[in-house]
Amino acid sequence: MALSEKKKFLNWIKTHPSCEHIRKQAGNTEVIYDVEHSDPNQRIKIFDIPISQKKKSIFTKIKDNIWVPGYKLRGNSYSDTNFDQQLNQTSSIMSISGVFDMICTAPVLYYFTQAAGLLALPLSLGYGYMLLIMSNKAGEFSMNRPKGNNTTANFLLLIFFLLSMVKTLMSGVGIDLVSRAGEIKNSTAEELLIKQIPTNEDTNVLYTNLLANSKNECDRLIKEQSKLDPTKRAQRKLYNQLQENMYKSIKSPKSDPRYLLDNNLSDLGPCTRVDLIEKFNGNSSFNRNKIASAQNNLRESLSPVSFLYVFQRNQFNNLFTGNPLKGSESNFESYKKVFKDSATEFNIDCLNTKIRCDENVAWSNPAMAINEAAKQFYGRIFNKEWENLGLSYVGFLISILLSATATILLYTSSIDIKNRASRSSLVEDWRDDYFLELDEEEQTN
DSSP states of 361-404: PEESSHHHHHHHHHHHHHHHHHTT-GGGTHHHHHHHHHHHHHHH
Domain boundaries, the chain: 53-182+391-444, 205-283
**How far, in Å, CA of 388 to CA of 277, rounded?**
51
DSSP H/E element including 145: none
**How far, in Å, CA of 317 to CA of 352, rounded?**
11
Q: pLDDT 10s per residue in the chain (445 long)? A: 455 666 666 677 777 666 676 677 666 666 676 767 777 666 666 655 555 555 678 888 888 889 999 888 988 777 777 888 899 999 999 999 999 999 999 999 999 898 888 898 899 999 999 999 999 999 999 998 877 788 999 999 999 999 999 999 999 999 999 989 999 999 999 998 887 655 444 444 456 778 788 888 888 888 888 888 877 877 888 888 888 888 888 887 777 777 787 788 888 888 888 888 777 666 555 566 677 778 888 888 899 999 999 888 888 988 998 889 887 877 787 787 777 766 678 888 887 655 577 788 989 888 899 999 999 999 988 888 877 777 888 999 999 999 999 999 999 999 988 888 787 766 666 656 665 665 555 555 5
**Alpha-carbon separation of residue 251 from 104, 248, 264, 441 (angstroms):** 71, 11, 10, 129
> What is the phi-psi region of residue 384: left when phi exceeds 0, alpha when psi lies from -120 to 50, beta otherwise?
left
DSSP characters over 8-45: HHHHHHHH-GGGHHHHHHHHT--EEE-TT-SSGGGSEE
Q: How much is the pLDDT for 175? A: 93
Helix-helix angle 205-226:270-301, to 10 degrees: 160
Instruction: Give, as one character, the DSSP assignment of residue 198.
Output: P
Q: How much is the pLDDT for 59? A: 86
Question: Which stretches within 53-204 are classed as H helix?
Answer: 58-66, 81-112, 120-141, 150-179, 181-195
Q: Rg for the chain (alpha carbons), in Å? A: 42
Least Cα distance to 66 among 41, 95, 40, 34 occurs for: 95
377 within 8 A of 392, measured Cβ to Cβ? yes
Q: How much is the pLDDT for 282? A: 61
**How far, in Å, CA of 10 to CA of 164, rounded?**
46
Q: How much is the pLDDT for 159? A: 94
Q: How much is the pLDDT for 171? A: 92
> What is the phi-psi region of residue 327: left when phi exceeds 0, alpha when psi lies from -120 to 50, beta otherwise?
left
**How far, in Å, CA of 354 to CA of 356, rounded?**
6
